[in-house]
Amino acid sequence: MTKVRNVVKEVCFLLFQVVKYLPPSDQCLRIGNWFRVLIARGVASHVGKGVVIEMGCHFHRDLVIGDYSGIGIRCKILGPVTLGRYVMMGPEVVIHTQNHRHDRVDVPMCQQGFEEARPVLIDDDVWLCERAIILPGVRIGRGSIIGAGAVVSKDVPAFSVVAGNPASVVKSRGMVTVNARGIQVVQARTRR
Ligand SMILES: CC(C)(COP(=O)(O)OP(=O)(O)OC[C@H]1O[C@@H](n2cnc3c(N)ncnc32)[C@H](O)[C@@H]1OP(=O)(O)O)[C@@H](O)C(=O)NCCC(=O)NCCS
């Protein structure tokens, strides 16, 4: 059974290499998105409802896409990545989960193989702006914005706006507090 499933996944992966070049999701009656989502369901671990998968993107089978999330034009998602719900992604975002080994100097790096993959977790309602790069093992907290061109090497707290290389917090959208009943409450940032 696992063998059959693996073959189906491989066939879907091959098919995706074709349908990924259909028109962007807002053109031609959204037919490109319809085909990409259909085939992606046979490749990825999970594709939720209301998902948008843009043209030219690339991802692996251990991807989880939550409901109403999107993968942007020409984005690359490499390895085990979980996108929560309502995740928004600009064009050419790259998410890495694995580095080449580079601890030895007597062996060329291209012959040292790979480090173990470190999954990336993007929480709900995150916006990854154009050309953001997310490095292995990072968790991006709920409601955060990753600015255009940011290189994120460390975890990002919820409701932060981060930018730059290496990315750092430039402002906060709000904060999470716990009320008297022990329930988490999100408070918007007070305007200056
Ligand atoms: C991240 C972003 C959304 C933040 O917008 P914002 O909340 O209006 O932020 P501000 O303009 O108030 O910027 C706050 C500070 O961060 C800096 N900053 C903002 N975005 C930055 C970026 N991408 N890289 C480096 N610095 C950035 C600003 O210069 C400013 O610095 P200062 O406080 O020293 O003046 C926006 O700057 C951005 O990157 N937009 C790109 C949108 C995009 O990629 N769209 C594609 C379609 S999804």
13/94 Cα distance (integer angstroms) = 19
Give catalytic residue positions: 100
Write out pLDDT tens, residues 7-41.
999 999 999 999 999 999 999 989 999 999 999 99
Q: What is the DSSP string of 111-146?
A: GS-BPPP--EEE-TT-EE-TT-EE-TT-EE-TT-EE
Look at ligand 1, atom 35, and give the residue with the nearest C-alpha. 170
Residue corresponding to tokens 């992606």: 40
Write out pLDDT tens, residues 65-105.
999 999 999 999 999 999 999 999 999 999 999 999 999 99
41 Cα: distance to centroid of ligand 1 (angstroms): 34
Q: Kindly state which CATH superfamily the domain 47-188 is placed in.
A: Hexapeptide repeat proteins (2.160.10.10)
146 Cα: distance to centroid of ligand 1 (angstroms): 9
Write out pLDDT tens, residues 126-150.
999 999 999 999 999 999 999 999 9
147 Cα: distance to centroid of ligand 1 (angstroms): 6
Residue corresponding to tokens 């996108």: 83
Domain ranges within the chain, ordered by starting residue: 47-188
Q: Whole-structure pTM over 0.95, yes or no?
A: no
What does the angle CA 127 – CA 129 – CA 130 come to, to the nearest 5 degrees?
Answer: 150
The model's confidence at residue 188, banded by pLDDT at 50, 70 and 90, is confident
The set of protein residues with a Cβ atom below 6 angstroms from ligand 1 is: 90, 129-130, 145, 147-149, 161, 163-164, 170-171
List, in sequence order, the alpha helices (H) in the chain.
2-19, 31-43
Ligand 1: residue of 87, 92, 126, 129 to mutate (most ligand atoms within 8 A of CB) is: 129
129 Cα: distance to centroid of ligand 1 (angstroms): 9
Q: Residues 142, 143, 148, 154: is their CA dihedral positive or negative?
A: negative
Q: How many CB atoms lie within 10 A of CB 130?
A: 15
Q: Closest ligand 1 atom, CA of 128?
A: 48
Which letter, b or e, does each residue of 84-119 get, where b requires 16 or more Cβ atoms within 10 Å of its Cβ? bbbbbbbbbbbbbbbeeeeeeeeeeeeeeeeeebeb
Chain centroid to CA 157: how far? 16
Look at ligand 1, atom 43, and give the residue with the nearest C-alpha. 129
